[in-house]
Amino acid sequence: MKIITGTDKGLLVFSKSANEWTLEKIHFIGLPIGFFHNDERSNTWWVAINHKHWGPKLYRSFDEGETFKEMTAPKFNKGTPESVKSIWTIAHGQSDDPKKFYIGVEPAAIFVTEDDGENFKELTGLSQHPSRSSWQGGGKGSNNPFLHTILVDEEDKNHLTVGISSAGVFQSYDAGETWEPTNKGLDAFFLPDSNVIVGHDPHAMKVPKSNLNIVWQQNHCGIYRSEDKGKSWENVTDKNGLANYGFAIVQSDKNENTAWVIPAQSDHMRIPHNCQLAVYRTIDSGKSWHPFSSGLPQNGTFDLVLRAGFEGKKGNLAFGSNNGNLYFSSDEGENWEVVSQNLSAIRSVGLV
């Protein structure tokens, strides 16, 4: 197994041999990686780079990073006053449509390609949604909302779900032509009306392979779970108030009732509780959450794990922090080992 780590200073590949993690290769050294995606259907690597001066760049590799081809990054339609400032996420299409991909960007919009990234089309039904004027800036000091999560329904080729900060969850049932907000049950404590239809701030969403009806969501206001593909939501935040605010969530690919989060103390105090890093796991659909910290620093720790900085695969978990620390677990998060503590801020983590 390899850990692919997207950092502010390059894409790093770590591999394990003789029970020791080794930095195998650095791609795009010195450049800010916005997102890494591995298409397991064809083992194709996709890398987004968000240059501060030159804008977003997109690369594709068919040979696990031996060579990369720069693709033309998606652009808004002619006449649109805005330009794409950064790429936040990449998702592949259904299993029987190997050349289809989706890209989420800032300002919030979704693009689709049906020819392996040679051409992109903006799904304007979302970016021109009637509620667009009420969407708010989503973080990182930006005044722009951004689209950071895309869920492709393996059972319905016309069904797409996206997460936008700050607007909420939107779904399309006609391949992206029209969209509707599906935020019933979510809270938005930062707004005068906490139960608004549009205005929520989902931080990340994941679907377990074992049950495609389930969606887990780490939200600005807590942790939520849906049993109807995101049409409605139940608050499953830790009743002890510890597993609550955070950005990343990982679901088990074997058990729909199991998920992990790495919480911060609060929105205003974005550090681990008591400066002790811990990963919280539920095995009962969020009814209870339990911390695991074996192998993680427990004194003077200030790590924050960002939206795409936490990944799981077949019981293995890996996460990286804004402080450049990278950790791995081979036993579903009960014990952790250090992979590296010398990196720049980690934006995304992948297991291949």
What CA–CA distance (Å, rounded) separates 208 from 225?
A: 11
**Helices (H), ranges, the chain:** 124-127
Per-residue pLDDT of the chain (352 residues; tens, 9 = 90+): 999 999 999 999 999 988 899 999 999 999 999 999 999 888 999 999 999 899 999 999 999 999 999 999 999 988 888 899 999 999 999 988 989 999 999 999 999 999 999 999 999 999 999 999 999 986 665 689 999 999 999 999 999 999 999 999 999 999 999 999 999 999 999 999 999 999 999 999 999 999 999 999 999 999 999 999 999 999 999 999 999 999 999 999 999 999 999 999 999 999 999 999 999 999 999 999 999 999 999 999 999 999 999 999 999 999 999 999 999 999 999 999 999 999 999 999 999 9
- Residue pLDDT, tens place only, 189-221: 999 999 999 999 999 999 999 999 999 999 999
The closest alpha carbon to 26, from 17, 14, 35, 38, belongs to 14
Strands 168-172 and 160-165: antiparallel
- Residue pLDDT, tens place only, 327-342: 999 999 999 999 999 9
What's the pTM value of the predicted model, to 2 decimals? 0.96
- Which positions ≥6 away from 294 have C-beta within 8 Å? 334, 335, 336
